[in-house]
Amino acid sequence: MLKTHTHRSNSVNLTFPGTSIIVGVSSSATFATAISRQVASVKKRGGRRIDDHKLQYTRSSIKASISTSVSTFTTVKGVISVGPSITGVLSSVTVGLIGTMADCVTDILGNSFVLELVSANLDSSGKEKETVKASAKSVGFDNESKLYKYECEFRVPDEFGKIGAILVENQHRKEAYIKNIVLDNGNVIFPCESWIHSKYDNPDKRIFFTDKSYLPSETPVGLKVLREKDLESLRGNGEGERKSYERIYDYDTYNDIGDPDTDSDLSRPVLGGDQHPYPRRCRTGRQSTSTEPWSESRMAVPFYVPRDEDFSELKEITFGATTLFSVLHGAIPTLESILTDADKGFSLFKDIESLYDNGVDVDLTISGLLNVLPTLLRALTSAARNVLQFETPRIKDRDSFSWYRDEEFCRQTLAGLNPYSIKLVTEWPIISKLDPIVYGPAESAITKEIVEQEIKGFMSLEEALEQKKLFLLDYHDLLLPYVNKVREIDGTTLYGSRTLMFLTSTGTLRPLAIELTRPPNNGNPQWKHVYTPCWDATGAWLWKLAKAHVLAHDSGYHQLVSHWLRTHGSTEPYVIATNRHLSKMHPIQRLLCPHLRYTMQINSLARLALINAGGTIDTSFSLRKYCMQLSSDAYAQHWRFDHEALPADLINRGMAVEDESAPHGLKLTIEDYPFANDGLILWDAIKQWATTYVNHYYPQPNLVESDQELQAWWTEIRTIGHGDKKDEPWWPQLKTQQDLIKIVTTIMWVSSGHHSAVNFGQYDFAGYFPNRPTIARTKMPNEDPTAEEWEAFINKPEDLLLESFPTQIQATKVMSVLAVLSSHSPDEEYIGTNVEPAWAAEPTIKAAFEEFNGRLIELEAIIDSRNNDPNLRNRSGAGLVPYQLLKPFSGPGLTGKGVPYSISI
């Protein structure tokens, strides 16, 4: 409520009894003129308010009675906090608020922003009350908050009622980022966190609501029209090219990752639709390419995202989108200009070591590289030369040979960068689902005899299956359709692969066999071979090469499916639908908002230079130009919303079973599974927070089903955002509180815990690329070798392994990108740390958030304790990188821990 600062003002009520006069009668006109003069005189003398609607003219009488009443006003001070904006964030970086001389004059004259208060109530006749206006004047820069401050004063009539919204018009010629608007020393708060367009770009006023959340049915009557109007302003009409200052959320297919106008080899299929199902992205409305009308041109750089999806506050320019753009368009082209031979690999392992020990000679003044290097890599500058020197990844720093060992190869499936692929073997023999007429015999070449030979009499195959001892990395069916097509591209090769592992009595995994398969081609039959750990030299080297191929497959699956598709790609439709259908005052919008920030911005940069034709992934991973097509196949075959919840994912892969007596209601198949052990605690904390929140705003089940905004939101996610899956039976219904809790918990988990688990360890595990090569460039030496090929392998097998690894350009490109993607900004928004204004405004919600924060602090201590437990051999041991990717909090930089709210890098 507002504090009362009352100013009394006499009001003059002029009353004329009788019937209304006919306009135009001279005596009445003369009288009206006299009255007007008297009114002007009264206003001039006493500042009294005239209620014009009480003036009545009569033919029968010219008497006027002037009655005096008292009307009170409350003077309300308003403070606008405006963030310094980043101009040209993806090119040159300049900081400031005022962009033109005209804007400077606007600030000096005190007309920077025009604000209008909107009452939450209607007047006595059922109409909206008139707004109360004020102009805000600049009062300078606040050093403590690092924000510009603007102040104004409103004179609010006491009968105005409760303030429910505020309208803002930006008088500058440049957009401004408003963090919040505070009235009456904090008694009324408008959380804004939004860019405000200039009135010269768009005359429509921006609408902001207070920090009080309302379901649609509970919306104060005076705000219902504004609530719908604000949502409509975000939806657009699906036409035209979007402008940079707009905030329009609409859907489109991935029809912009190709660049056919530049080169026909850069043409890519549209992702989204019957042929290549995929989640939808945000529509930009750019023109079509001249060669492919179904493809969107890439002329506009950077790509449009709704203005509020851009980085909202002045972040350290050495991090985030700016750094990524600088690396992709500055560092990588510079490296390519130095490493001129695109096919040149590393001749010796010491050449790989020199990337960390000696660095690469480079001109650091090119493309502003000095501005981004502190977060990317180490720079050593001397009078003689400039050097780019990569940070030593943690896995190499702790144990230079860990990448070479079988036990680490297996351990990383549970406590590494991609813990989402390993699954329990439940059926034998292992059978492909692909058409044997096209791809050859379906049964795996990993036989019972091979398995029992490797487990050396510990148990039979049947006993191993019954006791849940066999686990699999299976990239056979997903990769095999691409093998022949990929092999037509110079500088790469491909197999379908299966890797079988055995759970030992100590809880660790041991590799048993790797199967590599090539389908029939050019009249040649299917080729497949099973490799096992060997004690002879030739077999041992073949085993090492087979592991390199599997690691390249796992790297591609990790980046394209576990990371991009299941977090970045699948989340963008949630962002779009949330803004289109959940009002800014909707409690679920406010619950999800921190989890959806900045995702569309980072996704647009990925389409610009990472997942696009000719981008880093397209040129440096085994699938090459088929990378995103494989991601589409994985979406079509495997993606299910209900399996994106962590418990459901673990159960689906056979890594857990439901057990009410077990912690989290699940019994893990491998007890020491670091990702699952830590992830389930985080999942439960998120779910408990969501449960309290949802039950507070939806105390009865019928409120969920009757919430029109919520139902429209969920319908659009299913039928448009993920429209290629709209007819699937597994979509959760949305009828009860429990339905809503499951849905929002899944979205919150995917954007926080899931993304962090597969993102922030990328440099630690893959920055030393022999541990996780992104590509295997040469075929296995025993696949139809010539005499010369086999002799070369026998004479110097190490050369073949180095030739199989990425080229110098591929390796340094990927390392540069991973260093940025794995870094936290200094002002990272970690889950459970910053309480949103709307949460703080509601005591029950604030208390629930504090409990949520407390559980996350406990998780920090639990993870530290687990990493120091010598009995947990998958996370504790000599030279091991401790598993801490799901520790909620972190400092800035390459830390290998920390769980931000959202997918912001």
Q: CA 569 from chain center: how many Å?
A: 9
Q: Indicate the length of the chain as a whole number.
A: 905
Choose, from 170, 255, 603, 759, the residue flagged as catalytic: 759
Q: Is the dihedral of CA 470, 473, 478, 483 positive or negative?
A: negative
Dist. CA 679–CA 831, nearest whole Å: 14
Question: Could you tell me the two tokens for 16?
Answer: 């004329």
- Please enumerate, as own/partner, the contacts of 849-857 that have beta carbons within 8 Å and a separation of 24 or more: 849/689, 851/688, 851/689, 851/692, 852/685, 852/686, 852/688, 852/689, 855/681, 855/684, 855/685, 855/688, 856/682, 856/685, 856/831, 856/832, 856/888, 856/889, 857/888
Q: Is 698 left (phi over 0), alpha (psi -120 to 50) or beta?
A: beta
Cβ neighbors of 623 (< 8 A, separation 6 or more) are 482, 486, 494, 556, 560, 629, 630
Residue burial 644-679, b: 16+ Cβ < 10 Å; e: rest = bbbbbbbbebbbbeeeeeeebebebbbebbbbbbbb
E strand intervals along 364-411: 378-381, 386-389
Choose, from 563, 643, 664, 754, the residue flagged as catalytic: 563
Q: Which residues pair with 498 in a beta bridge?
A: 474, 515
- Please, where are the H alpha helices in 120-223? none
Dist. CA 223–CA 225, nearest whole Å: 6
Choose, from 197, 553, 643, 755, the residue flagged as catalytic: 755
Choose, from 166, 617, 743, 905, the residue flagged as catalytic: 905
* Residue 216 Cα distances to 90, 129, 863, angstroms: 39, 20, 42
Q: Is the dihedral of CA 397, 401, 402, 404 positive or negative?
A: positive
Q: What's the longest Cα–Cα distance across the chain?
A: 122
Question: Could you tell me the two tokens for 194?
Answer: 């939004």
Choose, from 568, 595, 643, 754, the residue flagged as catalytic: 568
Dist. CA 419–CA 634, nearest whole Å: 17
Q: Which residues pair with 83 in a beta bridge?
A: 177
Dist. CA 273–CA 271, nearest whole Å: 7
Question: Could you tell me the two tokens for 137?
Answer: 């004047």
Dist. CA 277–CA 637, nearest whole Å: 10
Dist. CA 490–CA 493, nearest whole Å: 8
Closest to 609 in 3D by CA, of 873, 820, 309, 373: 820
| Residue 563 annotated to the active site | yes
In a 3-state reduction of DSSP, which class is residue 8?
strand
Closest to 756 in 3D by CA, of 848, 861, 863, 854: 863
Question: Could you tell me the two tokens for 64?
Answer: 């006027």
With beta carbons less than 8 A apart as the criterion, state whether 675 and 863 touch: no
| Residue 430 annotated to the active site | no
Closest to 550 in 3D by CA, of 747, 735, 367, 413: 413
Closest to 626 in 3D by CA, of 772, 755, 478: 478
| Residue 7 annotated to the active site | no
- Beta carbons within 10 angstroms of residue 600's beta carbon: 26
Dist. CA 658–CA 796, nearest whole Å: 51
Q: How many CA atoms lie within 13 A of 194 on its CB side?
A: 21
Dist. CA 171–CA 173, nearest whole Å: 7
With beta carbons less than 8 A apart as the criterion, state whether 228 and 165 touch: no
Dist. CA 451–CA 513, nearest whole Å: 8
Q: CA 317 from chain center: how many Å?
A: 19
Q: CA 653 from chain center: how many Å?
A: 25
Indicate which residues carry an active-site annotation. 563, 568, 755, 759, 905
